[in-house]
Structure 1
Amino acid sequence: MNQYQVVLNAMPSMAATPESIKHLYVQSRSGGMVPITAVATLKPGLAPTEVDHEGQFPVVSVSFNLAPNVAMSAGYAAINQLMKDLRLPGDIHGGFGGDFRRFTEQQNSTPLLLLGALLAVYIVLGMLYENLIHPITILSTLPAAGFGAMLALLVTNTELRSSRSSPSCC
């Protein structure tokens, strides 16, 4: 479907009533003037008072809050599943904003950040020990330490989650 943004400019006397709009003329491709009723159907109906746009496309916002003690990753997975179950037409797309958009951006960049952190630690240890092998020996203990940390969380039945001390907006 082709969509065009149309801004109607008319003298106040020509747009005073809905009936007066039928007497407006628009320019045709050939340059002549034709009545607006020749190219558009004018009928009264219900319409939103405001249509939000993003990138020149109409958008609608749906807001929600996660239930208490629900991790953001679980909420993200549940909402994605609901979007799949809706079977929306191909020209309707969904996306996240606010905290969830930041969450997805962070999820995508986390492996690269971890790799960068390991490289930085390797460089610092290499400079500290003036050796290329000792940093690898030290960093080789990280998987065992990670396993021990996960085991401690499992034994104490504690979730690994980040929390904010300030409420979020947007």
Structure 2
Amino acid sequence: MIVRNQSDIEQHLATIEASTRRAIEALGSLARPADALRQMKFGTIGRHPIEDRALNLVEQINQTFSYLVALNAAKWLLETHLDTGGLSLAPGAHASQRLDIMSLQPNLVGAEVFAATSPSSNRKLDKDLKRLARDSSQHRYAFFYSPGYAPGRHSKLEKVTGVQVHCIDI
């Protein structure tokens, strides 16, 4: 996904909102609680947050929050680095690009993103910092969302020289 400006980001956020609404409506149409849980775990009652296709609801939840962090991080990055040429976002899909967010201007900006109950959950932040330590981007960031963490830079979490860590408000 390419975003070049705030309007692109707002369009993607609206798509996520619509996908979420469709999943909630489908869930609400189930009569029995056991059917609802079964569909959440095993069915395709969910929707992909960006693409128009069915998805497991648990996977929708995980992907939705990854996209929300990525898009909100992209807002900040486009405001902070005016010379990116735009950003390519592929949260969690490292087969298509080396980091979750990369500037279209080669090797200018690179970032990893995630949402978790805590930045230390499953050592996610440590893993992202390790990946960013090996990256050649001039400006490197780890963006996360975790309840209980204030939005903004968290320098106490910065364990790799040259990589900033920011909590994103979603």
The TM-score with structure 1 as length reference comes to: 0.21
Larger strand fraction of residues = 2
Greater RCO, 1 or 2 (C-alpha within 8 Å, sep 6+):
2
Indicate the structure (1 or 2) with the bigger Cα radius of gyration. 1
